[in-house]
Structure 1
């Protein structure tokens, strides 16, 4: 019996704000994800992926669409600004249509007291409309700037446990829906 084929997970860094803490959170998560079995990881930083705000086609949009199409699943690293998610992340979701469908997504959020949970709950509605599967487990960092040391490490045991649980769910769903998409096209 051959070893299972790794699932391709793209981590999308949603904040493009000046002074953002997103790279610290994303680096921490991707380090954990790289150690997880059966995961092939990519990182899409929306700061480096300037998708047109008018949702028009462009070479950047075409490349982004192709990358989304090749992925088996996603993790959105999102901040919470004014009780919502970043505009760049919404633009990313709106720039692609069919390539998102029948693929799972997990969320790593951060912010102040809410830890980005309001942004995550709003994004669950967005991804449902895109025919994505939102995994139940998420990771959140409350008062994020106090959760990481100068080397980008955290001792937040709840976040560590949540990340491992979320990865397990994401890998399971990614493998399951990849198999189903290969044997029978998604009807949506």
Structure 2
């Protein structure tokens, strides 16, 4: 199974890419996925600019074609997401909106981070959008409270509880990915 780890924040001062690296390491340790790190800052998707509806899959722009191929290739996702003003980062919602069928019948887990809420409010809103894309958001997740305080020497080091939660989430993603694959044909 192929796992796409989506790093949602594109801010220049973000910590999401450090957390994304930590998730990648946990997925490598898990050993059951072929893993691709999908950093939205590197995809550099402009505000949605395709002239035709995403469900038609008639993309005109190279950035959309690259994004479409990456989303289509994944069997499951881990979304590494901050919380911006009680909600998701606009870069993530924009990325969700770029494609449609490529998302269908795949599970998503969340590694959320922020201040005291740990990004949980953003995840609640993201789940609503994902279900419209026929993505199954799973319950198992990793929550990182006060994320800025968890970075040492340019690295995020999850605690024991977060590390265990990541394993449980990856186990569950694997189950769901296998079950939903039958719907993708």
- Normalized against structure 2, the TM-score is what? 0.90
Which residue of structure 2 lines up, in the alignment, with residue 140 of structure 1? 143
2:126 maps to which of 123, 126, 133: 123
Which residue of structure 1 lines up, in the alignment, with residue 30 of structure 2? 36
Q: Secondary structure at the match of 2:6?
A: strand
Q: Shift in Å at residue 175 of structure 1?
A: 1.4
- Normalized against structure 1, the TM-score is what? 0.89
Alignment of 1:90-169 (within 5 A): 90-150=93-153, 152-169=155-172
Q: Shift in Å at residue 147 of structure 1?
A: 2.0
Which residue of structure 1 lines up, in the alignment, with residue 75 of structure 2? 72
Deviations 1:91-129 (A, max 9, x none): 100000111000011111100000001111111111011
Q: Shift in Å at residue 85 of structure 1?
A: 1.1
Structure 2, unaligned runs of 5 or more: 51-59
Which residue of structure 2 lines up, in the alignment, with residue 84 of structure 1? 87
Q: What count of residue pairs does the alignment treat as equivalent?
A: 176
Q: Give the distance between the partners of 1:153 and 1:61, measured in 2 at CA.
A: 31
Distance 1:36 1:152, change over 3 A: same
Q: Shift in Å at residue 180 of structure 1?
A: 3.8
Which residue of structure 1 lines up, in the alignment, with residue 4 of structure 2? 10
Distance 1:75 1:55, change over 3 A: farther
Deviations 1:32-63 (A, max 9, x none): 11111321000111111122303314101011
Q: Shift in Å at residue 155 of structure 1?
A: 4.9
Q: Give the distance between the partners of 2:158 and 2:137, measured in 1 at CA.
A: 26
Q: Shift in Å at residue 70 of structure 1?
A: 1.4
Please say which of residues 146-155 and 134-143 is displaced more in the overlay: 146-155
CA contact (8 A) 1:148 1:154 kept: yes
CA RMSD, 1 decimal: 1.3
CA contact (8 A) 1:124 1:134 kept: yes
